[in-house]
Every structure is written in C-alpha cells, then in structure tokens.
Structure 1
Amino acid sequence: MMGMMGRGMKGHGMMGGDGMGPPIMARMIFALMDADGDGTVSLPEFQVAHERIFKAMDSNKDGKLTPEEMLAFMRGTTNPVPQQ
C-alpha cells in the first residue's frame, strides 16, 4: 500500500501541484488528527485516528481486515465483495 501511495503522491502529493502547501483534504485530515490542537500529530493521536479507520473498515467486526473489506470501504459500500 505504501508503494501505491508513494507513486500517487509524486505528481500532486501532499504539497499540491503548485507547491504552495497541502491541499484542503490534507489540512482537514491533519486538523482531525491533531486532537489537542497543538499543530502537531503525536503518535497516540495518529494511532487513535487510524484505529477509527480500521474499525470502520472491519465490516464483520472480527478484528481483522480482508482486502475485500478494504475495497468495500474505499468504494463506499457497506458489504465487502463476496469471496469466491
């Protein structure tokens, strides 16, 4: 996943096409993660945010993510694609 993100970020990335700073979505995500509003994201703040994402993706609540659950989350569907 990291490789996919890295490739996708090279052209536009966190810095936007004009190099003037993060696009609005990145700023919004940062603001949501910066729970204490100190302008930084600590490891605990980072972990809390990612735990929420994990729990939202884990549609069957078994404490594990399958590729199907991740894809269903990214597509905005409630159920993962059935396994064959």
Structure 2
Amino acid sequence: KPDVALVDVMMPVMDGRELLREMHADARWRDIPVVMMSAVSQSILTRDGPLVCADFFQKPFDLWKLLDRLRELTGMHEHH
C-alpha cells in the first residue's frame, strides 16, 4: 500500500478524477493522500465538482515544493 499517490489528471484509460473517485469508494485506498497535478488550472477542473485530494499542483510546478509536500504527507520532514 503506497504512502501517497501522485496522480496526473489526464491519463489514458482512467483519468485522475475517476481514479480519485475509485480510491475514495474503496476502504483499502481511501486513506491514501492523493496529490493531483495537471497542466489545466484547478478552477477549470473543479467546474464539475471539487477535487477531494490532499493537494494540487499546476504544471509546470516547482519540483522542490512538490517534494517538500510529499515529505509532509508521508511524515518525512526533511527540507532543502
């Protein structure tokens, strides 16, 4: 079981929003924090309802900020 999931909104077969809904519907996966990312702004993506995720990063994003956030979510608090 992963400590955190880093998910792009636009993926083949199942998009990130659908994956998020599937994870929340399954007790085995619903407690895993999900960090969503997309080239599309969050305001556009939330027109059909909120993205219930731990965080959202719009591409392009600062890699160090993403890594810091992933450390926070997994309990590893090292900072660069």
TM-score using structure 1 length: 0.26
Higher relative contact order, structure no. (Cα contacts within 8 Å, ≥ 6 residues apart): 2
Larger Rg: 1
Structure with greater proportional helix content: 1
TM-score using structure 2 length: 0.26
